[in-house]
Amino acid sequence: MNFDFSFFLFSATVVTGVIWGGYLYYLKRTHTEYIEANEPLIVEYARSFFPVVLIVFILRSFIAEPFRIPSGSMMPTLLIGDFILVNKFTYGIRIPVINKKIIQINEPARGDAVVFRYPKNPSVDYIKRVIGLPGDHISYQDKKLTINGKLMKQVSLGRYQGVGQGKTMSGAEILTEDLQPVEHDILINHNAPNIKGTFIVPKGHYFVMGDNRDNSNDSRYWGTVPEENLVGRAFFIWMNWDWENTGVGFSRIGTVIQ
């Protein structure tokens, strides 16, 4: 169990609910008339905060959770400073805090941009793109991706011009990669070392890679992501703030993540 913000919200919901509910139960048992002005201060706070933390807890645990992109590993799809929403129910309903799945809905699809708990440190959240599904044979050679013996087509779009904190990637080649059927853009730095490897994705695991192929700590280095580590699918950019690029990036607000 990770004692993160979800645990804090759960604890706050339980504590405020018990205090407020316990006070109401006490009034009922003692046949005391409820008078708001006579509430103890702690009960007043609990009554005020309980509905708020309960709603936030439900929304964040079962509907959507906000995240901020801190690195350039998913450029050009996601930029440093993007604030995104992650669909929490698309891969199934999980019990908050302990993250145990109780209802199966969908399986991750190749091409999904997913948030997951980093297998080597589950207290840290990562975002990458699903490349390999359970049972897939993955090969990455000469900066090209082959899945189950089929080369994924890449089409060059020219040179990338980075902005803000992503300026360091200016000059890299931007390409559209076809994962069949999902198409998405990637960055390739031809001056970076040529990472090579072949992988077989175990049952119940997923092979993930960053769209910024030469600047991403992903499955090529530390292995696959267990299904139970999945948090949800990233689907929407609701804000962008990069102090090195005019502050608020209005053009990115409302962008659907492909």
Q: Is 230 in contact with 119 (CB distance < 8 Å)?
A: no
- Cα–Cα distance, 73 to 128 (Å, whole number): 8
What would the two tokens of residue 10 be? 């759960």
Tell me how far CA of residue 237 lies from CA of 44, 72, 81, 142, 233, in angstroms.
Answer: 37, 15, 10, 32, 12
- Cα–Cα distance, 137 to 139 (Å, whole number): 7
Residue tagged active-site, from 6, 61, 128, 143: 128
Residue tagged active-site, from 61, 73, 216, 219: 73
Active site residue 128: yes
Active site residue 73: yes
- Cα–Cα distance, 67 to 240 (Å, whole number): 11
Give catalytic residues, as residue numbers.
73, 128
